[in-house]
């Protein structure tokens, strides 16, 4: 039979995820003047969005954007992660 990837886990350093989130959170949509992150964080909107919530929404196959389920796991410095 054929095989396909239906979901996967991604392990990021928390400081990398926080830096990526920080670099995006103040970006404004020219058409509305609103924050882009408000549409990229699901039910939390811009005010309650965090790096983990942002990534969780990006990896949610039910958001209409993600092609498959992606679980983002944030690792602290010194954590080796799996394997």
* Per-position pLDDT tens, the chain of length 83: 899 999 999 999 999 999 999 999 999 999 999 999 999 999 999 999 999 999 999 999 999 999 999 999 999 988 877 76
| Dihedral-angle region of residue 70 (phi above 0 means left; psi in -120 to 50 means alpha; beta otherwise) | beta
CA–CA separation, 62 vs 40, rounded Å?
13
Number of domains in the chain: 1
Domain membership of residue 49 (yes or no) is yes
Supply the pTM of this predicted model.
0.86
* Residue-range definition of the domain harbouring residue 37: 16-74
Domain membership of residue 1 (yes or no) is no
Domain membership of residue 8 (yes or no) is no
């Amino acid at each position: 039979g054929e095989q396909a990837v239906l979901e996967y886990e991604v392990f990021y350093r928390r400081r990398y995820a926080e830096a990526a989130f920080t670099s995006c959170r103040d970006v404004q949509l020219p058409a509305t003047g609103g924050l882009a992150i408000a549409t990229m964080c699901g039910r939390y909107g811009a005010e309650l969005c965090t790096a983990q919530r942002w990534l969780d929404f990006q990896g949610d196959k039910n958001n209409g954007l993600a092609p498959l389920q992606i679980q983002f796991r944030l690792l602290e410095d010194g954590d080796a992660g799996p394997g």
